């Protein structure tokens, strides 16, 4: 019997799965260290994919914009010091610090603590800007992609002679991050992001971890070309790829598939459990993974405490959408450390709004997304979760959501007991259903359980 114990507020939740039923436990892979980030980046920019070495891309005296994601800014700055390496490299190629602009390219995610993560060693050398997708005065227009997305992008970046992107490649709700994602959504205007994100509705294949042929990602690459972006540095778990994004990014994706994700064959039951106390965060991507792993007619069991799930009186959907916009405006305007209490409050409210949207029928959420109402980083997430819940029977094991509300959210069954959910799933499937388990946090066999991994369908 495989047994996990999760630390919930009401007391431990026990997850027990008979050995005879358990096909696979998904745990995080631990790829070997191949070198320091500075060494790996140096090697990648000297031997890029689909491009000449970076020193041959730049000419003495040119203006260079370095675009930096919010996920990898610490690696660039104070933590791993890739930034000083790259600045020195550009200096040696004839680009002085005064000609370099560093742009924090976080899309609609905001910039909280970015300066602290980057650190003074870098910030004291170059001009630093935090991209605000809502500031239309600092955007320039670059036509439209092949799919009709208008491309508005940060003017400071696009007016430079060369743009260099620094970020990473990994699974996301829209497929894989990385490549020209540093442009869209990274330094794009809010209108561009809204147009692009609604493409999550263009295909049932726009799911976590999927490529190639993903219409949303194809649109992202077109946007990269429209603004003249050519050189990207993408970090994976233990390797770095650099070069023209249409060439380096697919290589990075394949590397992630083989070295980070865990191949999973179709199964009858998928069990997912994550730490945390908020429902929407527990569903993010894990629910979408499950829809790709279970066989037609199979069942997903989501174990989510949701102890911080907020109840409140029903309100007009317009108020929910307005609050999403308000939260986005605040943290895109925020700079430096800010007020941690305010930031935490806004994050909680954002999660609450996502869950409010999930209470709506799918056709109503679809209209919200297609009309670009609210903010797409949240509305598309709610839409994706709702579609997944309606496409695959999903049981919720929770301490924070009532059965009545769970039904409105789209869950087929809600209970506080994993055994209850598991036995019901086996009954519905006729018994003997095979299980894939992906449990993060808690203990396994009396010791700290290994971290959960990222499952990837065997047939992809």
pLDDT tens digit string along 257-275?
999 999 999 999 999 998 8
In whole angstroms, what is the distance from residue 73 CA to residue 78 CA?
Answer: 9
Q: For the whole prediction, is pTM greater than 0.75?
A: yes
pLDDT-based confidence at residue 344 (cuts at 50, 70, 90): confident
Six token digits for residue 242: 């650099």
Structural contact between residues 398 and 308, judged by C-beta atoms closer than 8 angstroms:
no
Q: What is the pLDDT of residue 129?
A: 96
Look at strands 267-273 and 435-439 and give their pairing: parallel
In whole angstroms, what is the distance from residue 438 CA to residue 301 CA?
Answer: 10
pLDDT-wise least confident of 149-158, 208-217, 402-411? 208-217
Q: What is the pLDDT of residue 393?
A: 97
Q: What is the pLDDT of residue 205?
A: 60
Q: What is the pLDDT of residue 185?
A: 95
What percent of the chain is modeled with pLDDT above 90?
A: 69
Structural contact between residues 264 and 293, judged by C-beta atoms closer than 8 angstroms:
yes
Sheet order of strands, 443-444 included: 13-17, 2-6, 443-444, 447-448
* Dihedral (CA of 290, 293, 299, 301) sign: negative
Q: What is the pLDDT of residue 79?
A: 82
Stated as kind and residue range, the H or E segment containing 93 is: none
Six token digits for residue 220: 């992202």
pLDDT tens digit string along 370-398?
999 999 889 999 999 999 999 999 999 99
In whole angstroms, what is the distance from residue 16 CA to residue 341 CA?
Answer: 38
pLDDT-based confidence at residue 85 (cuts at 50, 70, 90): very high
Does the pLDDT value for residue 169 go beyond 80?
Answer: yes
Whole-angstrom Cα Rg for the chain: 23
Does the pLDDT value for residue 460 go beyond 60?
Answer: no
Geometric angle at alpha carbon 419, from 414 and 424, rounded to 5°? 60
DSSP string, 277-303: S-HHHHHTTHHHHHHHHEEEEEEEEEE
pLDDT tens digit string along 425-453?
999 999 899 999 999 887 777 777 678 88
Q: Identify the burial level of 72 via C-beta atoms within 10 angstroms of its C-beta, where 0-12 means exposed, 13-18 middle and 19 or more buried.
A: buried
Higher pLDDT, 18 or 204: 18
Geometric angle at alpha carbon 177, from 185 and 106, rounded to 5°? 35
In whole angstroms, what is the distance from residue 114 CA to residue 118 CA?
Answer: 6
Task: State mean pLDDT over 278-300.
Answer: 92
pLDDT tens digit string along 18-50?
999 999 999 888 888 889 999 999 999 999 998
Question: What residues contact residue 28 under an 8 Å CB cut-off, 6+ apart?
Answer: 450, 451, 452, 453, 454
Q: What is the pLDDT of residue 209?
A: 60
Helices (H) and strands (E) in the chain, counts: 18, 22
Strands (E), 317-357: none
Geometric angle at alpha carbon 82, from 80 and 88, rounded to 5°? 140
All domains of the chain in start order, with CATH: 2-28+261-457 (3.90.226.30), 37-259 (3.40.50.11440)
What are the C-alpha distances in Å from 101 to residues 129, 164, 325? 7, 10, 28
């Amino acid at each position: 019997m495989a047994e996990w114990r999760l630390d919930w507020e009401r007391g431990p939740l026990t997850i027990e799965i008979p050995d005879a039923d358990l096909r696979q436990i998904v745990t995080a892979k631990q790829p070997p260290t191949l070198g320091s980030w500075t060494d790996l980046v140096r090697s990648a920019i000297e031997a890029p994919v689909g491009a000449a070495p970076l020193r041959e891309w730049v000419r003495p005296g040119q203006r260079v914009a370095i675009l930096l994601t919010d996920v990898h800014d610490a690696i660039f700055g104070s933590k791993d010091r890739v930034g000083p390496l790259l600045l020195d490299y550009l200096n040696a190629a004839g680009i002085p610090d005064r000609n370099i602009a560093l742009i924090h390219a976080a899309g609609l995610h905001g910039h909280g603590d970015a300066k602290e993560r980057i650190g003074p060693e870098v910030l004291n050398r170059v001009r630093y800007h935090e991209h605000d997708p809502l500031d239309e005065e600092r955007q320039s227009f670059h036509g439209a992609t092949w799919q009709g997305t208008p491309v508005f992008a940060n003017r400071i970046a696009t007016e430079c002679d060369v743009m260099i992107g620094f970020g990473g490649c990994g699974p996301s709700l829209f497929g894989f991050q990385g490549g020209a994602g540093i442009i869209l959504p990274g330094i794009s205007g809010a209108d561009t992001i809204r147009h692009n994100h609604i493409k999550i509705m263009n295909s049932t294949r726009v799911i976590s971890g999927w490529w190639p042929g993903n219409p949303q990602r194809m649109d992202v690459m077109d946007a990269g070309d429209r603004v003249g972006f050519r050189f990207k540095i993408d970090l994976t778990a233990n390797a770095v790829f650099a070069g023209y994004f249409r060439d380096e990014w697919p290589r990075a994706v394949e590397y992630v598939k083989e070295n980070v994700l865990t191949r999973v064959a179709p199964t009858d039951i998928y069990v997912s459990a994550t730490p945390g106390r908020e429902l929407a965060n527990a569903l993010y991507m894990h629910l979408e993974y499950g829809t790709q792993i279970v066989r037609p007619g199979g069942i997903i069991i989501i174990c989510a405490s949701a102890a911080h799930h907020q109840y409140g009186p029903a309100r007009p959907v317009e108020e929910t959408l307005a609050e999403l916009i308000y939260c986005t405006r605040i943290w895109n305007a925020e700079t430096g450390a800010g007020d941690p209490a305010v930031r935490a409050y806004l994050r909680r409210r954002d999660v609450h709004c996502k869950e409010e949207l999930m209470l709506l029928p799918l056709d109503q959420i679809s209209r919200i997304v297609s009309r670009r109402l609210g903010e797409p980083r949240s509305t598309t997430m709610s839409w994706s979760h709702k579609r997944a819940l309606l496409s695959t029977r999903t049981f919720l094991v929770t301490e924070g959501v009532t059965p009545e509300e769970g039904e409105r959210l789209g869950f087929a069954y809600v209970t506080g007991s994993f055994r209850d959910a598991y036995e019901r799933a086996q009954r519905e499937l006729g018994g003997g259903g095979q299980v894939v388990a992906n449990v993060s946090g808690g203990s396994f066999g009396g010791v700290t359980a290994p971290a959960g991994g990222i499952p990837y369908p065997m047939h992809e």
